[in-house]
């Protein structure tokens, strides 16, 4: 890791009330002092203080007379190592938030000894300096990118160390058994492994259960972080586009009484009950000779195949026909919700009619026109995907593919330990697989990762973080 002092703008590049230029490194205070004018030099103030003054641009005239141009009136926060985010001396210059003035301050900082920070370099230094593990560092960018309540709560929980603590607890159990076996093999006269396989098996089974719970949580974690891939299907004029408009809170789709109005795929991200639904409204599914509409129908079927959730909108004022039968057959083995729409008028289809076709799919009566039943839909989606209320106090949710893959590798290694015990293999075989599991879990916390992976992870961060 490069050791020079780095600097970047840490607030959004738009006109705002305040803009922050962050400096971190051994010479952070010295660099800031070169452009700061206040009652005291920054090197003389106490750590973790806010200091009022001015940022000035010093110039030397041809006559060797010093002149200064005041750039901005500022508040400068000085924080000394190691009690900082990066673990290094850190200075944050809080100036007025005009884009020009913030850029001007950064230019002065760079001109006076700092180097431009790379994307994510402040957080990268925090990780490399032991201020956080890799799971917490990844949670930083997840907090920034959070798009719903649950995603934010999950990311903050990980930032506070929920994943780190759980993984470290499992690694401690693994390394304990590894150390015992290695010690016993090195000193068999004083330490016996007779009967130890039973003890190890019991512990390995507990670890496997913990790993499986974490892996299982990744499904909820993905939904929390990325949203639910949702496809709305139904016959033409069933009210699919009306439903999309209600969920979106604005007219996203054209609604008419003419069948086949929606021919292409419409996509919209919708917040529903604290979750994100990545909704796709598709063309009405029916037999058609219209080439363009047929392409839309084919796309609807294609999207439904890979959806996390299918919302089947039924026009309850019209009898079921062969098009409905086709849709019902398609959704029978998928995670789906049936919405009996148009409950505000006389209906001929009831929940019992649908249950005769598919008894395992929840059915909700709604009126997209009058916006009735939407709360029931929201509650059902949360029940299906979050399995009730989510608590971030005692439950750890894995929301990172890299972390999930590491857990899967650790799980396979622990299963090999069980197989070795069952096959009465020598104890050093146990040790090999235990260490493989230990190393795999180290990828999550950053104890076993190489520089290339670290650089790749932090390159995805925004500038100044």
List the binding residues for Mg(2+): 241, 262
Is the Cβ–Cβ distance between 68 and 57 less than 8 Å?
yes
SS3 at position 258 = coil
C-alpha span between 153 and 143 (Å, rounded):
8
Is the Cβ–Cβ distance between 310 and 336 less than 8 Å?
yes
Largest CA distance in the chain: 96
C-alpha span between 279 and 275 (Å, rounded):
12
Phi, psi of 397 (to 5 degrees): -115, 125
Q: Which residues are annotated binding-site positions for GTP?
A: 237-242, 256-262, 281-284
β 363-365/336-341 pair status: parallel
Q: Which residues are annotated binding-site positions for K(+)?
A: 237, 256, 258, 261
DSSP 415-464: HHHHHHHHTT--HHHHHHHHHHHHHHHHHHHTTT--HHHHHHHHTTSPTT
Q: What is the DSSP letter of 46?
A: P
Q: Which residues are annotated binding-site positions for (6S)-5-formyl-5,6,7,8-tetrahydrofolate?
A: 22, 92, 131, 465
Q: Which residues are annotated binding-site positions?
A: 22, 92, 131, 237-242, 256-262, 281-284, 465
Q: What is the DSSP letter of 42?
A: G
Is the Cβ–Cβ distance between 245 and 228 less than 8 Å?
no
SS3 at position 152 = helix
Q: How many other C-beta atoms are found inside a 10 Å radius of the C-beta of residue 281?
A: 29
Q: How many other C-beta atoms are found inside a 10 Å radius of the C-beta of residue 90?
A: 25
C-alpha span between 53 and 76 (Å, rounded):
8
Phi, psi of 359 (to 5 degrees): -85, -15
ω into 82 cis (within 30 of 0): yes
Q: What is the DSSP letter of 284?
A: P
β 49-60/66-79 pair status: antiparallel
């Amino acid at each position: 890791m490069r050791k020079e002092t780095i600097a970047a703008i840490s607030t959004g590049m738009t006109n705002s009330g305040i803009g922050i230029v962050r400096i971190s490194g051994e010479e952070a205070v010295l660099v800031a002092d070169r452009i700061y004018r206040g009652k005291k030099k920054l090197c003389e103030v106490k750590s973790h203080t806010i200091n009022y003054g001015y940022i000035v641009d010093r110039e030397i005239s041809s006559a060797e007379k010093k002149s200064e141009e005041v750039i901005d009136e500022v508040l400068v926060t000085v924080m000394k190592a190691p009690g900082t985010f990066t673990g290094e001396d850190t200075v944050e210059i809080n100036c007025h938030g005009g884009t020009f003035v913030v850029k001007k301050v950064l230019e002065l900082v760079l001109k006076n000894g700092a180097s431009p920070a790379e994307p994510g370099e402040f957080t990268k230094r925090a990780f490399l300096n032991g201020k956080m593990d890799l799971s917490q560092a990844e949670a930083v960018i997840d907090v920034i990118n959070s798009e719903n309540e649950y995603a934010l709560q999950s990311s903050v929980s990980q930032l506070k160390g929920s994943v780190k603590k759980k993984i470290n607890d499992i690694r401690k159990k693994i390394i304990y058994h590894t150390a015992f076996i290695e010690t016993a093999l090195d000193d068999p006269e004083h330490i016996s492994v007779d009967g130890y396989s039973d003890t190890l098996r019991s512990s390995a089974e507990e670890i496997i259960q913990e790993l499986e719970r974490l892996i299982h949580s990744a499904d909820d974690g993905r939904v929390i972080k990325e949203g639910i891939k949702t496809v709305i299907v139904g016959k033409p004029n069933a009210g699919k586009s009306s439903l999309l408009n209600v969920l979106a809170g604005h007219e996203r789709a054209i609604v008419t009484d003419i069948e086949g109005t929606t021919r292409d795929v419409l996509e919209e991200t919708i917040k529903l009950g604290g979750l994100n639904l990545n909704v796709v409204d598709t063309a009405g599914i029916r037999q058609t000779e219209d080439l363009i509409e047929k392409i839309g129908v084919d796309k609807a079927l294609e999207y439904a195949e890979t959806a996390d959730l299918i919302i089947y909108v039924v026009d309850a004022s019209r009898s079921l026909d062969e098009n409905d039968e086709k849709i019902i057959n398609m959704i029978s083995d998928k995670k789906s919700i049936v919405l009996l729409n148009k409950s505000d008028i006389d209906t001929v289809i009831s929940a019992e009619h649908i249950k005769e076709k598919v008894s395992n799919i929840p059915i909700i009566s709604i009126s997209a026109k009058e916006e009735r039943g939407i709360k029931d839909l929201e509650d059902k989606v949360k029940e299906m995907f979050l399995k009730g209320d989510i608590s971030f106090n005692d439950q750890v949710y894995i929301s990172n593919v890299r972390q999930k893959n590491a857990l899967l590798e650790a799980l396979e290694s622990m299963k090999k330990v069980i197989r070795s015990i069952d096959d009465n293999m020598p104890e050093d075989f146990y040790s090999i697989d235990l260490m493989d599991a230990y190393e795999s879990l180290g990828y999550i916390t950053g104890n076993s990762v190489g520089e290339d992976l670290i650089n790749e992870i932090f390159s995805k961060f925004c500038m100044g973080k």
